[in-house]
Structure 1
Amino acid sequence: MLLIYNIGINLYFCAIYVASFFNKKAKLWLTGRNNIAYKKFEKSTWFHFASLGEFEQGRSLLEHVRKHQPETKIVVTFFSPSGYEIRKNTPLADAVYYLPLDTAANARAFIEVINPSVAVFTKYEYWYHYFNQLHKKQVPLYVISGIFRSGQVFFKWYGGLHRRMLGFVTYFFVQDTASKELLQAVGVSNVEVSGDTRFDRVWANAQHPTELPLIDQFKNDHKLFIAGSTWPEDEALVAALVKDYADWKFIFAPHEIGEEKIAKLIDLLPLNSVIRYSRIADNQLSLNNYQTLIIDNIGMLSSLYQYADVAFIGGGFGVGIHNTLEAAAFGLPVIFGPKYDKFKEAKDLISIKGGYCINDEPELKATVAYITEDIQRYNTVCQVVRDYVKENTGATKTIADHIHL
């Protein structure tokens, strides 16, 4: 099985190499791993994140270590360019790198250089050679905010190698009881239901959000609908609301902000009703003349939600929805597409009637009407959603206390 795994890793590298000739992300993935001069550490704490979402998920623990152990050297690695390119200069780390490809030689060399005394992996990402090397060197390895499903390879008859990886982990901190039971069923007992560290992160952000005066000026006491982390399928649906809710303001924060993507979004919206955030400073007209604002930068979304009345979270018509909790922390009803089955928080929000799954334009319009037309019901939903987030905080402290970070 290890031979097949190694062949798969090398085939993946070849696929990325070919894709790099025409795909920007693939090129960044490849070039970001070439000719890197890694800094030598006498000792470090290593945090690995698959991408930006996992970074935000584990950020509260990262901040805890930086605050309570300021002398600790922190190394952060990312697998994906969408994490590395945005957080490569984070002050929370002493070094930020792309994770080298998971080969035995790379694992030995990288771990030798950063010399971790502890390693923390967030939610996803199980790399055999890195886990094996940490185990050989007796470096404690923790998986935080882990979540497991019965369909994963760990629980299949052919998943022996992946179950061996689980044995290299010192302790699992998982989001729910179902994950704990799945691990116990394959002989993993070093597991605790601690919850999801994202709740701590989004709740802290909601208590002290960054003020955005231009957004407040744009809203100007109107109701505001925010569509966050959207893809074209999401945008086509939400754009249909704009004409129906002429007295509302709308903000789109697309997941991808390339010029071609922004141009296609603008084409969906009523002529002369939309302005891009980057061009507000150059615009001499009052923001009151615009109904729709497009955020064409990365990093504002978590603070935008403080001004919203309803939120639509993108990704539900693709591989899966994006972060619903950033909006929920502000007590917002959240709407999303059907691909949410891998996200516990989305299921929870639906169960408490604070989250709403829609499949098409008529369902979206009916849902928005249902949420907003009864003010008492709307206020109740907002309170239920806010309470749900607050009640699920505390995972960061549980983990930090257990592993003495």
Structure 2
Amino acid sequence: MYFLYDLLVRIAGLLLPVLALFKPKLRSFLNGRKQVWHYLETYLEPGKPRIWMHTASLGEFEQGLPVLEHLREAYPGHQFLVTFFSPSGYEIKKDKLPGVAVCYLPLDTARNARRFLDKVSPEIALFVKYEVWPNLFRELGRNQTPIVMFSALFRPDQAYFRWYGGLLRKSLKKVSLVYVQDQASIDLLSGIGLPDARIAGDTRLDRVSVIAGQDNRLDFMDRFAGNRICLVAGSTWAEDEEVIVPFLNNHLPKGVCAVVAPHQVGASHIEHLETRLQAKTIRFSSATQEDLERADVLILDTIGLLTKVYDYAAVAYVGGGFRTGLHNTLEPAVFGIPILIGPRFDKFREACDLVREGGILPVSDAQSFREAILPLLEDGEERQRIGAINRRYVEENTGASIQITQGVRTLV
């Protein structure tokens, strides 16, 4: 199995440069990896004990950050390395974490796995959610390096539990500690011979609690929102915008403003969105103070600010629930506001919980969006009632990172 897997990864490595000619994100994926070996030689401090955390992308990094911060406090003499698989995480966090080395994870060939671990020599390897790389896990096992996986959420349709998932199951069994979010994940893992997984919850709840307690003031949002009620539509895709734009064009009440923060901030997408909006619209990247005060809709054509912008929202819409995969609903939930999402949310535990409790309202089209959001914008008491459900959910479910950190400390 390992031979075939390694062959497929190497073939993919040969094909990717061709595909990268047409995909800018893929070019970043490949160009960044060319620097990995030099980066490790330059930034890793010889002789220092090392803790390594791998995350797929930005969302998983935010999920792992509370554990990383606890461990940095507990082990001030260690060096920390964070690796990313996706450019959307690496490009934002490179050179932004003082005292932490940040680089891409090389493609998971057997040769790369050996070379990477020879250079890094971690005391422990932490994997956020369910990132499983068979060659890396095999080499970590050979080196007797403990592996900890946390904030994992397993489902029956995943490859680990299907007939073709033998190699992934074999890799999972090399994990020293698995921390999952719910009992269903425990039951699934027990069924494939991993009876010792532990429920700790989701570290994203710890992360958003920290965000809610920090200074989220933004000068441009003070100018734009002023004393108006603010709707924030975060991480939207084209399908989400099909639902939102008709409302902004035809039904936005007086005294209400809106921020649209697309997940894709490339020029072509932003231009297309801007041409469809008939309300007074301004882009963040080109807005003057006067523009912000006059506009009714602000397009947030940048990344890294959305978590703070949610603090200005009276109501939030979180994108991805029509096709691509729902984005983080906990980021607005912590601010105690109602949340709307698309219809596909069954793979997201917190969304399922909050839909059931009434803090998140799913919509299926432009009409249902309008019917759901208008009462929220017009009725402050109803906003507060629904928002309180979301805030309470976050407050009652924090603490996962402390439990996980305690487990990690038994292995370092």
User: Does TM, normalized by the shorter one, top 0.5?
Assistant: yes
Equivalent pair of 2:232/2:313 in contact (CA under 8 Å):
yes
Per mean C-alpha deviation after superposition, the further-off stretch among 129-138 and 233-242 is 233-242
Alignment pair present for 1:275 and 2:295: no
Alignment pair present for 1:219 and 2:198: no
Which one-letter code corresponds to 2:123 in the other structure? S
Give the match's secondary structure for 2:69.
Answer: helix
CA–CA separation in structure 2 for the residues paired with 1:325 and 1:122? 17
Alignment pair present for 1:376 and 2:384: no
Equivalent pair of 1:63/1:92 in contact (CA under 8 Å):
no
Find the counterpart in structure 2 of residue 48 from structure 1.
Answer: 54
Find the counterpart in structure 2 of residue 184 from structure 1.
Answer: 190
Deviations 1:77-131 (A, max 9, x none): 1111111111111325532111011111111110110110011000021100111
Equivalent pair of 1:62/1:92 in contact (CA under 8 Å):
no
Find the counterpart in structure 2 of residue 357 from structure 1.
Answer: 362
**Offset at 1:325?**
0.6
Which one-letter code corresponds to 1:184 in the other structure? S
**Offset at 1:394?**
0.2
**Offset at 1:374?**
4.0
Find the counterpart in structure 2 of residue 174 from structure 1.
Answer: 180
Deviations 1:255-284 (A, max 9, x none): 11111111111111116x01111222xx36
CA–CA separation in structure 2 for the residues paired with 1:162 and 1:211? 44
Alignment of 1:82-93 (within 5 A): 82-93=88-99
Alignment pair present for 1:338 and 2:343: yes
Cα distance change on mapping 1:9 and 1:286 into 2, 3 Å: closer
Alignment pair present for 1:65 and 2:71: yes
Find the counterpart in structure 1 of residue 6 from structure 2.
Answer: 6
Equivalent pair of 2:282/2:291 in contact (CA under 8 Å):
no
Alignment pair present for 1:325 and 2:330: yes
Cα distance change on mapping 1:130 and 1:5 into 2, 3 Å: same
CA–CA separation in structure 1 for the residues paired with 2:305 and 2:380? 28
**Offset at 1:370?**
4.2
**Offset at 1:12?**
2.9
Question: What is the number of equivalent residue pairs in this alignment?
Answer: 402
Alignment pair present for 1:396 and 2:401: yes
Find the counterpart in structure 1 of residue 165 from structure 2.
Answer: 159
Structure 1 stretches lacking a partner, 5+ long: none
Selected match of 1:256 from 241, 244, 264:
264
Deviations 1:233-273 (A, max 9, x none): 212321112230232100011111111111111111116x0
Deviations 1:271-320 (A, max 9, x none): 6x01111222xx36353311011112111000001110111111122220
Per mean C-alpha deviation after superposition, the further-off stretch among 16-25 and 62-71 is 62-71
Equivalent pair of 2:55/2:83 in contact (CA under 8 Å):
yes
CA–CA separation in structure 2 for the residues paired with 1:269 and 1:319? 23
Cα distance change on mapping 1:316 and 1:395 into 2, 3 Å: same
Find the counterpart in structure 2 of residue 94 from structure 1.
Answer: 100
Q: Give the TM-score of the pair, scaled to structure 2.
A: 0.94
Cα distance change on mapping 1:77 and 1:305 into 2, 3 Å: same
Selected match of 1:311 from 316, 323, 339:
316
Equivalent pair of 1:313/1:335 in contact (CA under 8 Å):
yes
Structure 2 stretches lacking a partner, 5+ long: none
Q: Between the two proteins, what is the percent identity of the paired residues? A: 40
**Offset at 1:2?**
2.4
Equivalent pair of 1:66/1:92 in contact (CA under 8 Å):
no
After superposition, the CA RMSD in angstroms is: 1.6
**Offset at 1:214?**
2.0
Cα distance change on mapping 1:284 and 1:312 into 2, 3 Å: closer
CA–CA separation in structure 1 for the residues paired with 2:97 and 2:76? 12
Find the counterpart in structure 2 of residue 148 from structure 1.
Answer: 154
Equivalent pair of 2:155/2:185 in contact (CA under 8 Å):
yes
CA–CA separation in structure 1 for the residues paired with 2:60 and 2:223? 32
Cα distance change on mapping 1:47 and 1:88 into 2, 3 Å: same
Deviations 1:7-46 (A, max 9, x none): 3323432342221101011111111111531234432100
Equivalent pair of 1:225/1:249 in contact (CA under 8 Å):
yes
Per mean C-alpha deviation after superposition, the further-off stretch among 366-375 and 285-294 is 366-375
CA–CA separation in structure 1 for the residues paired with 2:290 and 2:402? 49
**Offset at 1:390?**
0.9
Selected match of 1:112 from 109, 115, 118:
118
Per mean C-alpha deviation after superposition, the further-off stretch among 248-257 and 234-243 is 234-243
CA–CA separation in structure 2 for the residues paired with 1:14 and 1:335? 43
CA–CA separation in structure 1 for the residues paired with 2:98 and 2:186? 30
Divergent runs of 4+, >4 A: none
Give the match's secondary structure for 2:123.
Answer: strand
Give the match's secondary structure for 2:155.
Answer: coil
